Structure 1
Amino acid sequence: AGFTVDVETTLDVYTDAARMRSYDLINQTYTMSTITREQEKGLLDCIEQGTGFAGWHGGMADAFRNNTNYQFMVGGQWVAHPGNIIDYEVNIIDHDDPITAGLSDFKMHSEQYYMHVDPSNQVLATTTFSGEYCPWIEGVVMPVVWKRRWGQGKIFYASVGHVAADFDVPEAREIVRRGLIWAAR
């Protein structure tokens, strides 16, 4: 799929309703920041009307810690990555979905995200915490990849992608590629 890409360095575009409606997909990479109520409303309204929203790691699920409406739309919020950079496995749990079909479980050497997640997410892949770094989460199964709807808009999220090298893992790269295409209008 060929896309024409606009790159913005601020969130001001979120208040331009006409421009936002022209987009098929928003791929946000904005971490630990703030968003004004006007910007948040512009983004959420645009997605609700059918523009897709897709991304990975903290650029999507640790963007605006003080904005619960944004977090409801995304379907989750980052909490911690116990042990920092560690080895862990991602387990495909939905082998029939077009985003994960034909892919096998895979290993990552990166941040394993512990998150607060919406139980209404359609979870496609998970990871299980060992408890080595936080004994109280031993055996906890955490979503890694999910999709959902926000009004007419499609939402895709993957917690992989802390650094570009994470996408040297073919399965991680393919999941994100397919997820971006799936979420686009």
Structure 2
Amino acid sequence: MRGPRPAPRCHRAHPSPRQALVVRGGWDGHAPQQATELFVPFLEDSGFTVVVSDSLDVDADTELMAQTDLVLQSWTMGEILGDEVHGLRAAVAWVTGLVGWHGGVVDSFRMSAAYLHLMGAQFATHPGDPVGHTMRVVPERSDHPVIAGIEDFTLRSERYWLLTDPLLDVLATTTIEAGPDDPWDGPSTHPAIWTRRWGAGRIVVCAPGHHLADLAVPQVRTIIERRLAARG
């Protein structure tokens, strides 16, 4: 049973029929409040009314979700209740976009099969120490609006080994090599940037984003902002 719901905080910039819901919390190591605040001004400048919530209860608020065009989620680990995950899944299936990065979307709610099904990807581990690893654009998807004009780039940050299903539209990948002491016997390539259709809604995930500095990398910032600004 959750405690009282904190009142959502509304930022109102330009009059607009579009509404964005920022849901953040969970493990503090991913700095969910600071990370999402990096993008609130961009959402406002893009014409959204922005509702910010530090509680998952909003996902079960059917009236609010019906008015929401885009959910920006940053919630690592934690627990999501049945009515909350049902509300999120239903909103995305209806038309709402869902966007996020790193553990805020693919290491969320590990015990919820319904959430994992929605996302189609789940964090398994981050092997080895942070090293420079390259995000390679998938050549046949290089003209996708989320990644068009962005070339391969390298980050020195935490890598994600992901368990995925085949319905991801992968835009960029990263490869984890096997070291001499690793139990796997060859390189393993994982999605780094992808989109996913869920009913009429679209999910966009950027696997990098462990540190606030990762979100300031021009390629990462551009990818996230393109989805935030997109319609549909």
TM over 0.5: yes
1:1-185 counterparts in 2 under 5 A?
1-93=46-138, 94-132=141-179, 134=182, 136=184, 138-182=186-230, 184-185=231-232
Taking the aligned partners of 1:3 and 1:24, their CA distance within structure 2 comes to: 9
Distance in 2 separating the partners of 1:86 and 1:180:
29
- Post-superposition shift, 1:148? 1.0
- Greater shift, 101-110 or 137-146, is seen at 137-146
Conserved? CA contact 1:127–1:143, under 8 Å: yes
Report the TM-score when normalising by structure 1.
0.94
Q: Residue type matched to 2:66 in 1?
A: R
Q: Unaligned stretches of 5+ in structure 2?
A: 1-45
Structure 1 unpaired stretches of 5+: none
Distance in 1, matches of 2:214 and 2:185, equals 24
**Structure 1 Cα separation of the partners of residues 185 and 103 of structure 2:** 21
Alpha-carbon separation, structure 2, partners of 1:84 and 1:23: 39
Which of structures 1 and 2 has the bigger CA Rg? 2
Identity %: 39
Which whole-Å CA distance do the structure 1 matches of 2:133 and 2:148 have between them?
A: 21
Shift, 1:134, TM fit: 3.0
Cα offset for 1:75?
1.8
Contact 1:55 1:180 in 2 (8 A): no
Q: Could you tell me how far 1:135 is from its partner in structure 2?
A: 5.0
C-alpha distance in structure 2 between counterparts of 1:89 and 1:116, whole Å: 19
Mark the CA change 1:46 to 1:134 in structure 2 (over 3 Å): closer, same or farther.
same
- The answer to whether the 8 A contact 1:79-1:114 is kept is yes
Structure 1 residue 120 displacement after superposition? 1.0
Structure-1 separation of matches of 2:96 and 2:205: 15
Residues of 1 paired with 2:185 and 2:226: CA distance? 30
Q: For 1:139 and 1:181, how far apart are their aligned partners in 2?
A: 35
